[in-house]
Structures are given as structure tokens and as C-alpha cells.
Amino acid sequence: MRAWLAVARGDWHEAQTYLSRLSTAEPGNEVFPVMLGAAGGAIRMLLEKGELAAACTRADRGVDALVRKGGWAWAGELVPYAVEAYCGADRVDEAARLTDRLAEAVTELDAPLAAAALLGCRAKLARHSGEDATPLFDQARQLHARLGFRYRAAQLAEQAAVCRWDEDHAGASTTIGTLADQFEHIGAVRDAARCRHRLRQHGIRKPSARNGRGYGEQMSPREREVARLVMAGHTNQEIADILFLSRRTVEEHVGNVLRKNNVRSRRQLLIEQK
């Protein structure tokens, strides 16, 4: 859980700390669903960082463990992220075979999350092949929401909105703007930043719902996010990548953070905040 929260915040260092504890584990040495969840989280993080080859390598290991162990009831923790990685690397045949194996398993299991994940996998395959994946993403979103997986449901809603952008520009942009606020509310800083970045790419400005007033000598929400990432050991460029900002903008935020905390360096900030 902590690893997934760190991924949602874009704190790669913290996420890696938690995920590495299970990265070399054999299925018999750890609780298997937790191991699959760790593998899925690692793949998701690597995809967000743009490290596609590493994501596929991690997917290969996770899928191999899944096949050997046969724990398809928990496959929803891993398979959607493996399919996304394989599609991104044009390993579509492998993504399709993995999806088919999940479909076969679902027919014999009472595994609601795996069934919901299957729809998400089919949506990703449809999108990669150029088909209209919006209905599948919507169905997957609805199933995840019913199961209480609201964060995943929101991510699927984002993907559905992206798919229908050309046909319903206004509706899709409104949905993505709403999702940005929802992600921000639950602390999914990276997801909120990605949604706002999508809108900026189309010339739509969607400021944070929390930035409606001046903060004076207090840190703004954005400055607090930057401060957290600075104290986690991220460089300015890494913070820019995580928050979809320019490096110059991050440098300005870092300067404000140091000034408002009456310190002159990152090192001093870390000492003062401990």
C-alpha cells in the first residue's frame, strides 16, 4: 500500500524502497498477492518514468511467477500493467496471449477484480490496435468502482476520456479536469499533474483547485509538493518530470521553499524539517 501511495505521489525513491523488498522474492517466500501487487506497482512506476524496457523486464518476471504459481485470482494486481508495458513495446502478441490466459482463468474463478482487470486489458489492446476502446474502458471503470477500487477507476476514466477526445473534446476535457481535482484530493499528485498536463497540451489551463488565493510567506500547495520531493532526494529535473513542469519553474519553486523556510540550501532544509 505504501509503495502504491508513493507511486501516486510521484515519489520514485520512496516507492523503490518499498518495492525493492519484494523485487527478488520467490512466490513461496512472500504472500503471493502482495508480491503480485508489488510487481504491478513497479511496472506502473517504470512506465510513468518512461523506462519501458525495464517495465517489460519486470513484467516478464511477474508473469513468469504468476504462471508458475497459478494464482490467477489475484492476477488483477499485475496483468493490466504487464499488458500496458507489452503494448507500449509492440509486444502485442504476448499482451494478447496473457489477456487470453486471464480470460480462461476468470471463467473458472470467483475473482471479481480479475474480471474487472480483464476488461481493462481488452481496452488497452483495442486502443493499441486503433479500435474504439472507450466502451471497454468505461465498463472496466464501472466494475472497479463497484469493487471499491476508486483510484484505479479514476485512472480508467482518464483513459476513456483520452480515447474520446477527438469525438467529444468538450466532454473529455471536462472529465479530465474533474479527475485532476479528484486525484489531487486523494493525494495522487502525479496523476493530477498528468491530467493538467494533458489539458495544457490542448491549450486548456486548469489550475489547482487549491491555488485560488495568495499564500504570502506560507508555502503554497505546489511549494509543499516540491519541498516534499526535495526532501526525498529528487533533483530539480526529476521533480520537473514528476510534476510535468519545466525545470525553470521547479527552480523558482525551490527558491521560494528555501526562502520561506529561512534556509539557504537543500541540506539545511532537510536538517530543519527533521
From first to last of its 274 residues, the chain has per-residue pLDDT tens of 788 889 999 999 899 988 887 655 555 545 788 889 999 999 999 999 999 999 999 999 999 999 998 889 999 999 999 999 999 999 999 999 999 999 999 999 999 999 999 999 999 999 999 999 999 999 999 999 999 999 999 999 999 999 999 899 999 999 999 999 999 999 999 999 999 999 999 888 876 666 556 678 889 989 999 999 999 999 999 999 999 999 999 999 999 999 999 998 988 888 877 6
The answer as to whether 59 is a domain residue is yes
Q: Which three cell numbers stand for residue 32?
A: 503471493
Closest CA to 17 of 35, 2, 32, 37: 2
In this structure, are 163 and 88 located in the same domain? no
Q: Which three cell numbers stand for residue 253?
A: 519553486
User: How far apart are the C-alpha atoms of 102 and 99, rounded to whole Å?
Assistant: 5
For residue 28, the 8-state DSSP code is: G
The number of domains in the chain is 3
The one-letter amino acid code at 242 reads: I
Q: Which three cell numbers stand for residue 50?
A: 518512461
The answer as to whether 215 is a domain residue is no
The one-letter amino acid code at 148 reads: G
In this structure, are 3 and 123 located in the same domain? yes
In this structure, are 163 and 248 located in the same domain? no
Across the chain, mean pLDDT equals 91
Of 131, 160, 188, the last residue of a domain is: 131
CA distances from 90 to 22, 26, 27, 30 (A): 27, 28, 28, 32
For residue 232, the 8-state DSSP code is: T
Query: What's the domain range around 116?
Result: 1-131
